[in-house]
Structure 1
Amino acid sequence: MIKRKWILILLTVTTVGWLNAQTKTTIALDEVLTKVHESNASIKVSEQEAKMAKYDYNLSSSVFLPQISISHTGIATTNPLMAFGSKLNQEILTQADFVPSTLNDPDQIESFATRISVEQPLINVDGFYQRKAAKTTMEAKELQSQRTKDYLVFESEKAYSQLQLAYVAVEVLEKAFKSASANHDLTENSYDQGLLQKADLLEAKVRMTEVANQLQTAKSNVQNASDYLAFLMNEQGITTYEPAEKLTPTSLKTDTGSTLESRADVRAMDLVSKAYKSNMRADKMTFLPRLNAFARYELYDDEVFQADAKGYLFGASLSWDVFKGAQRFAKTGKSKAGYEKSKQEYQQYLSKSNMELQRALRTAQVAQSKLETSKLAMEQSGESLRIRTNRFKEGLEKTTDLLMAEALYAERQLAYYQTVYEFNQAQSLLTFLTKE
Structure 2
Amino acid sequence: MNRPLFSLLLLYAAASLSAQDTLSVELKQLRATAQNKNFELLRSQAQVGEAQAELLKSRAAYLPNVEVSYTGTHTNNPLMAFGSKLNQERVQMEDFNPSKLNSPDGIFNFTTKVEVQQPLFNKDALYQKKAGEIRVEALKDYSTRSRQYVDLEVRNAYMQLQMSYAMEKVLRQAYSTVLANKAVVANYFKNGMVQKTELLEMEVRQSGIESQLKSAQAQVESASDYLFFVMGENPKGRILKPSEELSLDNKLIAPTTLPLERNDITSQQKALSSFDYMIKASQATLLPRINAFGSFELYDDKPYQFDANGYLVGVQVSWNVFDAKKSHAQSQILAAQKFSKSLELEQYLEKSSMELRKAYRQIDESMARVELAEKALEQSEEAYRIRKNRYDQGLEKATDLLGAETMVSEKQLALVESTFHYNRAVAHLDFLLNEPITQ
Interval of TM-score (by shorter of Structure 1 and Structure 2): over 0.9
Is 1:12–1:209's contact at 8 Å kept on the other side of the alignment? no
SS of residue paired to 1:316: strand
Deviates further, 378-387 or 60-69: 378-387
How far residue 235 of structure 1 moved from its aligned partner, in angstroms, is 2.5
CA distance in 1 between counterparts of 2:270 and 2:249 reads 35
SS of residue paired to 2:260: helix
SS of residue paired to 1:311: strand
- Say whether 1:332 aligns with 2:320: no
Q: How does 1:352-363 map to 2 (within 5 A)?
A: 352-363=351-362
Number of residue pairs matched by the alignment: 434
SS of residue paired to 1:261: coil
How far residue 26 of structure 1 moved from its aligned partner, in angstroms, is 0.7
Deviates further, 43-52 or 8-17: 8-17
CA distance in 2 between counterparts of 1:21 and 1:175 reads 23
How far residue 169 of structure 1 moved from its aligned partner, in angstroms, is 0.5
Flag the 1:256–1:296 CA change in 2: closer, same or farther, 3 A. farther
One-letter amino acid of the structure 1 residue matched with residue 202 of structure 2: A
Cα deviation digits, residues 398-421 of structure 1 (max 9, x gap): 111111111111111111111111
CA distance in 2 between counterparts of 1:34 and 1:130 reads 37
How far residue 334 of structure 1 moved from its aligned partner, in angstroms, is 2.8
Is 2:258–2:353's contact at 8 Å kept on the other side of the alignment? no
SS of residue paired to 1:262: coil
The equivalent residue for 1:431 is: 430
CA distance in 2 between counterparts of 1:21 and 1:193 reads 42
- Say whether 1:154 aligns with 2:132: no
Flag the 1:253–1:71 CA change in 2: closer, same or farther, 3 A. farther
How far residue 135 of structure 1 moved from its aligned partner, in angstroms, is 0.3
The equivalent residue for 1:37 is: 35
How far residue 182 of structure 1 moved from its aligned partner, in angstroms, is 2.6
Is 1:253–1:431's contact at 8 Å kept on the other side of the alignment? no
Which of 203, 207, 210 lines up with 1:205 in the alignment?
203
Which of 98, 119, 122 lines up with 1:121 in the alignment?
119
Q: How does 1:270-349 map to 2 (within 5 A)?
A: 270-325=269-324, 327-349=326-348
Is 2:258–2:352's contact at 8 Å kept on the other side of the alignment? no
Flag the 1:19–1:311 CA change in 2: closer, same or farther, 3 A. same
The equivalent residue for 2:222 is: 224
Deviates further, 376-385 or 160-169: 376-385
SS of residue paired to 2:212: helix
Is 1:260–1:353's contact at 8 Å kept on the other side of the alignment? no
One-letter amino acid of the structure 2 residue matched with residue 393 of structure 1: D
The equivalent residue for 1:105 is: 103
CA distance in 1 between counterparts of 2:107 and 2:268 reads 64
Deviates further, 196-205 or 165-174: 196-205
Is 1:181–1:208's contact at 8 Å kept on the other side of the alignment? yes
Is 1:13–1:216's contact at 8 Å kept on the other side of the alignment? no
- Say whether 1:239 aligns with 2:238: yes
How far residue 75 of structure 1 moved from its aligned partner, in angstroms, is 0.9
How far residue 170 of structure 1 moved from its aligned partner, in angstroms, is 0.7
Deviates further, 186-195 or 99-108: 186-195
Which of 127, 132, 135 lines up with 1:134 in the alignment?
132
The equivalent residue for 1:60 is: 58
Cα deviation digits, residues 346-395 of structure 1 (max 9, x gap): 11222221111111111011112222221121122122212212221221
The equivalent residue for 2:83 is: 85
Deviates further, 354-363 or 321-330: 321-330
The runs of 5 or more residues in structure 1 that have no matched partner are none
One-letter amino acid of the structure 1 residue matched with residue 416 of structure 2: Y
The equivalent residue for 1:47 is: 45
SS of residue paired to 1:235: coil
SS of residue paired to 2:5: helix
Give the structure-1-normalised TM-score.
0.94
One-letter amino acid of the structure 1 residue matched with residue 357 of structure 2: Q
Is 1:29–1:160's contact at 8 Å kept on the other side of the alignment? yes
One-letter amino acid of the structure 2 residue matched with residue 300 of structure 1: Y
CA distance in 1 between counterparts of 2:148 and 2:319 reads 48
One-letter amino acid of the structure 1 residue matched with residue 397 of structure 2: K
Is 2:137–2:267's contact at 8 Å kept on the other side of the alignment? yes
CA distance in 1 between counterparts of 2:376 and 2:237 reads 38
Cα RMSD (Å): 2.0
CA distance in 1 between counterparts of 2:48 and 2:57 reads 14
SS of residue paired to 2:232: coil
Identity value in percent:
37
SS of residue paired to 1:297: strand
CA distance in 1 between counterparts of 2:304 and 2:360 reads 77
SS of residue paired to 2:114: strand
One-letter amino acid of the structure 1 residue matched with residue 45 of structure 2: E
How far residue 253 of structure 1 moved from its aligned partner, in angstroms, is 4.0
How far residue 330 of structure 1 moved from its aligned partner, in angstroms, is 4.1
CA distance in 2 between counterparts of 1:389 and 1:6 reads 27
- Say whether 1:265 aligns with 2:264: yes
- Say whether 1:178 aligns with 2:176: yes
CA distance in 2 between counterparts of 1:286 and 1:198 reads 95
The equivalent residue for 1:168 is: 166
Cα deviation digits, residues 120-170 of structure 1 (max 9, x gap): 111111111100110001101111111111111111111111111111111
CA distance in 1 between counterparts of 2:123 and 2:48 reads 26
Give the structure-2-normalised TM-score.
0.93
One-letter amino acid of the structure 1 residue matched with residue 346 of structure 2: Q
How far residue 44 of structure 1 moved from its aligned partner, in angstroms, is 1.9
